[in-house]
């Protein structure tokens, strides 16, 4: 490897790639950040909300300048069945400054710009076709006719990731239960309308998750996030579910937008964007091999996504894993050793950080979610049914105690035994 070679090539300028490039550039390494979209962020999508702790660690000096949308101060979870909805809401001024809604074109562009400002070279509109491999070691990339050698490559390509396979990293077969499709529409609404409608102050926002009718009982759910002057509305559905019930996300979206719990929230909003993206949801179970000779894998490409229903995390893992990948390579460069044994320190760092700690901790969540269809079908029905009856006073229906209503609502849908079991399992997995 000549001295002209780049130190690191980072593939993908999403949060993982940009974070890695930024940390590497700050340490004075020669790094190229290659993005296939015309600009960082254009090919990325999120619901979405960012838990900002990782951003603060990454950019301690200027994270306040990051283009975040609204600070989330209202969290809602809605269970829908038919046209009925039961919503649980948590609103608190005590919510710390930790959670913001984001728009990826703005956020990713800012992150990539930070990396460039620190000295990383950003090449947009370029697709990496292949890893260059010599004697089993990754020594660079090929983009079209151009080959670029480097001491190491960080693959941060995202969910639909093909490069690690080329380096013979063990990548499991894509299990349709572990991958979801997210579909999202963005509606334009003036900021003051959003604030009135969602009862938030300027700069503050709401995050709402929906379960049940929105996915017609399949594993997955709907989401709504308030941005500065737009609303992000969408659905996530496992690919397995889609195939099994032969549903079209577009049809589900249309029904979701028209649902009485949703329609008033987006009323008058003009749809300005419609997109879809893959989301890896298997957690540690689907984590591929992320270390090889001269190669590290970070972000969604490494399966670092956690969907607990009430919390969906991917971007914070992405930024942190990008940072750790960079730190690993900085140490490797000092020793001039980019071999697998040295690079395995990446895993050590991940394990010591919240990334693998949290993913490991919640490792039963994906299975629980995938194996508990009652969460998406029966329970929303039970809840809406029971509460609707509880709140109905019409003078003719014979009065019943809450316990009776509960039992009647459960009848034919779930046994008490199942409810208890699900509660226990869920409480321990989520």
Partner 1 sequence: MPNVIVCYKWVLDEADLRVGPGGALNLDNAGRKISEYDRNALEEAALITEKHGGTITAVSLGGPEIKASAKDALSRGPNSVILAMDPTLQAADAHTTALGLAAAVRTLSAYDLILCGEGSGDQYAQQVGPRMAALLRVPCISYVNKLTLDGDHVICERKLEEGVEVVRAQLPVVVTVLPDLNKPRIPGLKQVMGAAKKPQVVLDAKALGFGTAELTPRLSTLAVKAPLSNRKKLRVQNVAELAQQLVSALS
Interacting residues toward partner 1 by CB under 8 A: 32, 34, 38-39, 121, 123-126, 143-146, 148, 272
**309: which 2 tokens?**
């229903």
User: Which residue lies nearer to partner 1 by CB, 269 or 377?
Assistant: 269
Could you tell me the smallest distance in angstroms from the CB atom of residue 121 to partner 1? 6
User: Which residue lies nearer to partner 1 by CB, 272 or 402?
Assistant: 272
Q: SS3 for 54? A: helix
Could you tell me the smallest distance in angstroms from the CB atom of residue 141 to partner 1? 8
User: Which residue lies nearer to partner 1 by CB, 94 or 145?
Assistant: 145
Could you tell me the smallest distance in angstroms from the CB atom of residue 15 to partner 1? 21
Name residue 278's beta-bridge partners: 181
Residue written as token pair 């309308």: 193
231 — phi, psi (to 5°)?
-120, 130
Could you tell me the smallest distance in angstroms from the CB atom of residue 30 to partner 1? 11
User: Which residue lies nearer to partner 1 by CB, 9 or 315?
Assistant: 9
User: Which residue lies nearer to partner 1 by CB, 123 or 430?
Assistant: 123
User: Which residue lies nearer to partner 1 by CB, 127 or 165?
Assistant: 127
Could you tell me the smallest distance in angstroms from the CB atom of residue 194 to partner 1? 17
Buried b vs exposed e over 262-290: b needs ≥16 C-beta within 10 Å? Answer: beebbeebeeeeeeebbbbbbbbbbbbbb
Q: Output 359-365 pairs: Cβ under 8 A, ≥24 positions apart.
A: 359/283, 359/284, 359/287, 359/304, 359/306, 359/317, 360/284, 362/283, 362/306, 362/308, 362/429, 362/430, 363/283, 363/284, 363/285, 364/425, 364/428, 364/429, 365/283, 365/306, 365/307, 365/308, 365/429, 365/430
Euclidean distance between CA atoms 379 and 211, whole angstroms: 10
Could you say which DSSP state residue 30 is in?
A: -
User: Which residue lies nearer to partner 1 by CB, 126 or 410?
Assistant: 126
**Cα angle vertex 92, ends 90, 96, to 5°?**
115
User: Is residue 118 classed exposed, middle or buried when 0-12, 13-18 and 19+ CB atoms within 10 A define those classes?
Assistant: middle
């Amino acid at each position: 490897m000549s001295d002209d070679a780049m130190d690191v090539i980072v593939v993908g300028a999403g949060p993982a790639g940009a974070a890695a490039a930024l940390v590497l550039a700050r340490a004075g390494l020669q790094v190229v950040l290659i993005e296939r979209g015309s600009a960082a962020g254009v090919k990325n999508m999120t619901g979405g909300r960012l838990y900002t702790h990782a951003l603060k660690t990454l950019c301690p000096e200027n994270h306040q300048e990051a283009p975040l949308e609204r600070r989330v101060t209202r969290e809602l979870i809605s269970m829908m069945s038919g046209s009925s909805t039961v919503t649980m809401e948590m609103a608190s001024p005590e919510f710390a400054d930790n959670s913001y809604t984001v728009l990826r074109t703005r956020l990713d562009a800012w992150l990539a710009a930070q990396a460039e400002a620190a000295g990383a070279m950003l090449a947009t509109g370029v697709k990496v076709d292949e890893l260059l491999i010599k004697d089993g070691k990754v020594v660079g990339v090929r983009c079209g006719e151009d080959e670029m050698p480097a001491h190491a490559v960080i693959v941060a390509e995202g969910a639909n990731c093909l490069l690690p396979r080329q380096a013979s990293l063990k990548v499991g077969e894509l299990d349709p239960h572990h991958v979801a499709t997210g579909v999202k529409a963005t509606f334009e609404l003036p900021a003051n309308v959003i604030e009135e409608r969602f009862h938030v102050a300027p700069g503050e926002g709401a995050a709402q998750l929906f379960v049940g009718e929105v996915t017609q009982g399949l594993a997955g759910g709907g989401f709504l996030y308030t941005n500065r002057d737009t609303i992000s509305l969408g659905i996530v559905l496992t690919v397995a579910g889609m195939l099994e019930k032969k549903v079209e996300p577009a049809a589900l979206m249309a029904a979701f937008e028209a649902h009485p719990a949703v329609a008033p929230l987006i009323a008058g909003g003009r749809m300005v964007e419609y997109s879809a993206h893959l989301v890896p949801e298997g957690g540690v179970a689907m984590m591929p091999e992320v270390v090889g000779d001269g190669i590290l894998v970070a972000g969604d490409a490494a399966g670092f996504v956690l969907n607990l229903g009430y919390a969906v995390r991917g971007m914070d893992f992405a930024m942190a894993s990008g940072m750790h990948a960079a730190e690993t390579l900085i140490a490797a460069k000092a020793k001039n050793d980019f071999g697998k044994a040295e690079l395995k320190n990446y895993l050590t760092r991940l394990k010591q950080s919240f990334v693998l700690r949290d993913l490991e901790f919640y490792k039963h969540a994906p299975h629980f979610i995938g194996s508990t269809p009652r969460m998406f079908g029966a329970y929303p029905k039970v809840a809406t049914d029971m509460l609707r009856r509880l709140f109905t006073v019409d003078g003719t229906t014979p009065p019943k105690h809450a316990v009776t209503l509960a039992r009647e609502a459960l009848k034919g849908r779930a046994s008490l035994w199942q409810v208890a079991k699900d509660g226990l399992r869920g409480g321990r997995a989520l």
